[in-house]
A and B are shown apart, each in its own frame.
Chain A
Amino acid sequence: MLRKIPKLISRSAPMIILVLTLAAVAGFAAVSHLVNRYNLNQQARGRKLYAQGITEIQAGRYDNAIAAFRAALSCDPTNSQYQLSLARALRDSNDPRRLDEAESYLLALWQRTPQDAAINLALARVAARRGTVEDATRYYHNAMYGVWPSEPDANRNRARVELIKFLLEKNARAQADSELIALAAALPEDPNSHLQAAQLFEQANDYSGALHQFREILRVDPVNSAALAGAGETAYRSGDYVLAQEYLRRAVTANPADANSRQLLASTDLVLRTNPFHSHISDVERNRRITAAFAQAEDRLDHCAQQADVDLKASDTPPSSPLVKLQALWLRTQPDLKLLRSPAETDLPDAIMDVVFQIEQQTNSICGPPQGLDLALLLISQKREAVTQ
């Protein structure tokens, strides 16, 4: 098959080596040309498949996207963008078995460019999916301090917000608090950023932090309805009903369609109107409020008993039933109402209201959240408890 090389050249070893070297160089050049053409062809095909994968991702068809990204990667195996997209698709496909492969791609990319923020963020999300707080925190921090090709500050804040949400989800409160402090310090003068931060503070039950963020927005935009509503709700949750009333009134004025603020405002008004421990009311008014609350507690008890199908008057009802015990307590306390006007009975208002609070709290756990005046009494009880503690 292979014909002999014509004997035009000397058959000395150096000459043979020279000829072989020239043949190798020629072969190398030819194969280089072939491989270049092949690579260009493959890269073009890869781009097409990658675009197809992006379309599939946008349509939420992760399996198709993964197949397309895989094919794109087979055309251009070293393309970092394809690897990153495939890893993201694998991670987001909601199949836990694919997390390993996603992580493998990302770790390979990470080894090449450990400072790349996008890769670190993707790895952080994989760790977050796995629920490993330590790894996720490490990669999120890498992402925050890594290199972003554009909008570095915004991207860093976004990464931190994601980390805080993850930490709150995992009940890692201490770490979340420290991240929140860092977030608050680096926020831009942008209402949306403050609003998002305030919501995170709220999720972390840091109402003063949340209120601070809402006030930052109101400082720039005093009629920002979302900030007013948020501030009102935060004050309401923290039990500062006077402040809540102020913000919620402004929120309802700024946005009359805000039903939540309107409802909270109603509750706030009720709390302020019925709270017997308010410092600026007369003794007569206090006694009136206590009497009304005591009567409301009885109503609540009756309604709850009906709801729970418990007949409080029947003789066969077990005395150990919580509702029966509450009724007995209410009945024992009822005569004390007459002694409210006596100046000697200084502890009596508290004692009567303790009975009211017990009824409201236990019926809340037995029959579900109350409405109207019962809700107001429950909120007062909670605030009272917080103050006592």
Chain B
Amino acid sequence: MSDLTPIANSSPSSSATVRVKTPRRLFSTIEGVFNEEVFFLILSVFIGIFSGLAVVCFRLAIDWTHLGLLGPLPQTHSWRLFAVPSLAGLFVAILVLHVFPGIRGSGVNQTKSALYIFNGYIPFRTAIGKFICSGIAIGSGQSLGPEDPSLQIGASIASALGRQLEISREKLRLMAPVGAAAGLAAAFNAPISAVLFVIEEVIGRWSAGILGSVVLSAVSSVVIVRSFLGSEPLFRIPVTSFKGPSELLAYAVLGIVGGLASVAFAQSVGYLRPRLKALPRWTQYFQPALAGLLVGLIGYLGFPQVMGAGYGSMDEAMHGQYAWKVLAILAVLKILATTLSFVSGTPGGMFAPTLFVGAMLGGAVGDIERILFPHLTGSTGTYALVGMGVLFAGFLRVPMTSVFMVLEVSGNYEIVVPVIVANTFSYLVSRSLQTVPIFDMLTRQDGLILPSLEEDREEAILRVEDAMLPVPATILSAQDYVDANFRRVQDSADSVFLVRLHPSGWNNATREQLQRLYQEGKGELTLASVLPGQSLPSLYPDLPLDSALRYVNDYALIPVVNRADSRRLEGIVTRDSVFKKYGSTSVVEVSGSI
């Protein structure tokens, strides 16, 4: 079953007729007190508050489940370590298959699908199901994190609220990312990272229109969470330092290793997930249980750190509690455990496991580098912290978020350069070895194609200047008489001419038009007095070429003017020049793909 299918199933009808009723002119009665934009901003604050409250409860639920099922002091070689996640996995599978279809996986893709396919519709039962099932799964020790479910819970609450208030379809569509930012910010206690992640991964493009709402909801949810759970970070940040540029090489190596690990992680998920989903339906009852058993066995055999979100172990790794061999083993085992938990369809997130793998890998690489090159001064904690960002950049492929996440979590700007260097290497290695980012890969495995900021970045944008023709030799003046202008065009081979209006603006005049006016005896009138008064729209060279499309059928010559001086003509575009540019680009793209 597809992770995304239940959303479609839950939807009462097709995407075009999902549960969005015709707006009943809610805002027409408000008459200027609250326009829809202002109301939407206010609503964003409430979304943040409700999401924050939900995430606080979610975190308590995970803690209670963990304490109840595994006890406060889990010991290795205790039968609970493998029995609890197995039985909990079975229970969760039954709930997912029979009560809460549509809550498999992390929730990031589902939120993105809601934005782009389902008009912002996420069933409220998704929030309830995600809360219960992820709480049980993570609390019982499955190797998954609470951040992505929090994101989806927030999005689901926002969507439900939007539907209740019957806001316009356009705004309803935006409710999901606003809620997602609130949920993620609350889970991570990091509003900037949450906003950036939602823009990079959920919305998939930079949109100033929604930024205000996303920021408001993220900040208000963090305020709520901090008021209940305190402002303590998820892990204590060690004393970090960056002494000299020569150490950047060490961080670059960490970036390369992290990039390779990210690819291995993503490939293992991408390989196993469709194969397990293709197995008969009855096996899906046992897949989470089997994953729980295997993860529990890893814990039973001496590595209970890989169970659950693992923030405590990250904390220990950052404070040099493990030797490099243990750190390396934990990184490998966490990749294995998370892959098993995730591909089995157990609801839960990938954020915390990614940070875990990054911290362990960073610590291990840092320790090895310091053994080989004792002059390096970075502590294990510094490398572990940078390693978190490295995996974030390489595995989740969110380069901006990865940098800000480390800075926001650590509150230390001294390591910004190592973080940027390491993340860049990780991102480049990951991108060169695996073209499709993990979330896009998961979406495509579910048969959906959603916009991607990474693909947008790579897409070559055609601009007006690409289709621009040189300034024509003959430019008429609207201040001159018709007969003078007519005489000027007689020697020209062109049939349409650009006319400069006074004091500014442009118009078109054809040879036939001028000839007709001349023959009608209007030769002694100025051209301005006989031409239609409306000026042509002007274009600027840096505008996307798409903006020229709306004019090319109405005007033969469209002036392209300088932004600093609208009277200065840079060139012109015509229907032919625009279409020719699009045509040549298509030919190049087609031949390139062949």
Query: How far apart sit A12 and B239, CA to CA, in the bound complex (Å)?
Result: 53
Bits for A310-339, please: 1 = Cβ < 8 Å to B, else 0.
Answer: 000000000000000000000000000000
A49 within 8 A of B: yes
* Most chain B beta carbons < 10 A, residue from A5, A97, A107, A108: A97
B236 contacts which of A11, A28, A108 (Cβ < 8 Å)? A108
Query: How many residue pairs bridge A and B at CB < 8 Å?
Result: 96
SS of A interface (majority): helix
A107 contacts which chain B residues (CB < 8 A)? 239
Could you tell me if B33 and A14 are in contact, using CB atoms closer than 8 angstroms?
yes
Could you tell me if B319 and A100 are in contact, using CB atoms closer than 8 angstroms?
yes
Cβ of B320 to closest chain A Cβ, rounded Å: 4
**Which residue of the partner chain A has the closest CB to B238?**
A104
Contact residues, A2-52 vs B (CB, 8 A): 2, 4-5, 11-14, 16-17, 20-21, 23-24, 27-28, 31-32, 34-35, 38, 42, 45, 49
A27 contacts which chain B residues (CB < 8 A)? 49-50, 53
A187 within 8 A of B: no
B64 contacts which chain A residues (CB < 8 A)? 38
Could you tell me if B33 and A13 are in contact, using CB atoms closer than 8 angstroms?
yes
Query: How far apart sit A279 and B380, CA to CA, in the bound complex (Å)?
Result: 69
Could you tell me if B164 and A5 are in contact, using CB atoms closer than 8 angstroms?
yes
Contact residues, B172-230 vs A (CB, 8 A): 224, 228-230
A42 contacts which chain B residues (CB < 8 A)? 63
B72 contacts which of A11, A20, A24, A71 (Cβ < 8 Å)? A71
B379 within 8 A of A: yes
A68 within 8 A of B: yes
Given contacts A78-B230, A108-B236, contact A101 B319 (CB under 8 A): yes
B279 contacts which chain A residues (CB < 8 A)? none
Interface size class of B (residues with CB under 8 A): 35 or more
Given contacts A67-B73, A101-B321, contact A38 B60 (CB under 8 A): yes
Given contacts A1-B123, A2-B160, A4-B164, contact A45 B72 (CB under 8 A): yes
Cβ of B494 to closest chain A Cβ, rounded Å: 57
Could you tell me if B72 and A49 are in contact, using CB atoms closer than 8 angstroms?
yes
B472 contacts which chain A residues (CB < 8 A)? none
A105 within 8 A of B: yes
Cβ of B373 to closest chain A Cβ, rounded Å: 20
A54 within 8 A of B: no
**Which residue of the partner chain B has the closest CB to A37?**
B60
Could you tell me if A101 and B124 are in contact, using CB atoms closer than 8 angstroms?
no
Query: How far apart sit A366 and B73, CA to CA, in the bound complex (Å)?
Result: 60
Contact residues, B16-67 vs A (CB, 8 A): 24, 26-27, 29-30, 33-34, 39, 42-43, 46, 49-50, 53, 56-57, 60, 63-64, 67
Given contacts A32-B228, A35-B60, A104-B319, contact A13 B26 (CB under 8 A): yes
Query: How far apart sit A35 and B224, CA to CA, in the bound complex (Å)?
Result: 12
Could you tell me if A35 and B228 are in contact, using CB atoms closer than 8 angstroms?
yes
B319 contacts which chain A residues (CB < 8 A)? 98, 100-101, 104
A215 within 8 A of B: no
Cβ of B392 to closest chain A Cβ, rounded Å: 23
**Which residue of the partner chain B has the closest CB to A75?**
B72
**Which residue of the partner chain B has the closest CB to A28?**
B53
A24 contacts which chain B residues (CB < 8 A)? 46, 49-50, 53
B125 within 8 A of A: yes
Query: How far apart sit A71 and B74, CA to CA, in the bound complex (Å)?
Result: 10
A224 within 8 A of B: no
Cβ of B53 to closest chain A Cβ, rounded Å: 5
Bits for B353-392, please: 1 = Cβ < 8 Å to A, else 0.
Answer: 0000000000000000000000000011100000000000
- Residue contacts A-B, CB under 8 angstroms, 10 given: A1-B128, A4-B164, A11-B24, A13-B33, A35-B60, A75-B72, A100-B319, A101-B320, A104-B238, A108-B236
Chain A interface residues (CB < 8 Å from chain B) = 1-2, 4-5, 11-14, 16-17, 20-21, 23-24, 27-28, 31-32, 34-35, 38, 42, 45, 49, 67-68, 70-71, 74-75, 77-78, 97-98, 100-101, 103-105, 107-108
CB-based closest 4 A-B pairs: A101-B319, A13-B34, A1-B125, A2-B124
Other A-B contacts than A1-B124, A78-B232, 4 sampled, CB-CB below 8 A, are A4-B164, A35-B228, A78-B230, A98-B321
